[in-house]
Structure 1
Amino acid sequence: MMKKHTLAALGLMAVSGLAWAAGGAASFQDLDTNRDGQITLDEAKKSPEVKARFTQADANKDGKLDAAEFSAIETAPQSAPQPMK
C-alpha cells in the first residue's frame, strides 16, 4: 500500500513539475530545496502563488505540503479578489 502512495506522489510531482514549468511557475522540485518530499512554508515563500495558497492547500494541517497537496494548488480555482468597499 505504501508503495502505491509513493508511486502516486512521484507521478504527481512529475506531472505538476512539467505543467508548472510550462507556465513559468515554480515546480514541486524547485520548492522542495531539502529534497524531503514536502514543502514547508519557508520553502513555499519562493513562490508568491504557493505561499498565498499554502494554508488552503495544506489539507491535513501538518504545516507542510506533500505532492498531492501541492498538485491541488494547480487545479483549485483561485479566490476572486474581494471588491474594495
Structure 2
Amino acid sequence: MKRLEKVFLILLTIAAIQAISVVEAHASPAKTLMQQLDTNKDGLISLKEAVRHTELLRNFGLIDDNEDGKLTEAELAKSKLTPGNAKSAVSE
C-alpha cells in the first residue's frame, strides 16, 4: 500500500509541474516583457529598464498613459508590443 501511495504522489507531482509549465507558456506578451525588463522587480518598467527593447524605448511616451515615467503591465497590455516584435507599439 505504501508503494502505491508513493507512486500516486509522484504522478500527482508530475501533473502539477506540467500544469504550471502550460500556464507559464501562455503568459501574455505584456507579462513576459515585464518579467524580462523589470530588473528591480518593482512591477514597473522605467526608461532605464526600457533601453533593452528598442521598440519599447521608441514608443515609451505613447505607451505611458498616465505620464509618470514608468510603464505598468496594464499599459504594456494596451500596446501591441511583444518581447520580440519590431512593429509599432501603439494600438490603433
Q: TM-score range by the shorter chain?
A: 0.5 to 0.7
In 1, the alpha carbon distance for the partners of 2:30 and 2:66 equals: 22
| Closer, same or farther: CA 63–17 of 1 in aligned 2, 3 Å | closer
Q: TM-score, normalised to structure 2's length?
A: 0.55
How many residues align? The count is: 58
Contact 1:53–1:73 under 8 Å retained in 2? no
Question: Which ranges of 4 or more aligned residues in structure 1 deviate by more than 3 Å?
Answer: none
The amino acid across from 1:40 in the alignment is: S
Q: Quick check: which has more Rg, 1 or 2?
A: 2
TM-score, normalised relative to structure 1: 0.59
Aligned to 1:5: none
- Unpaired segments ≥5 residues, structure 1: 1-13, 21-26, 80-85
- Structure 2 counterpart of 1:78: 88
Structure 1 counterpart of 2:28: 15
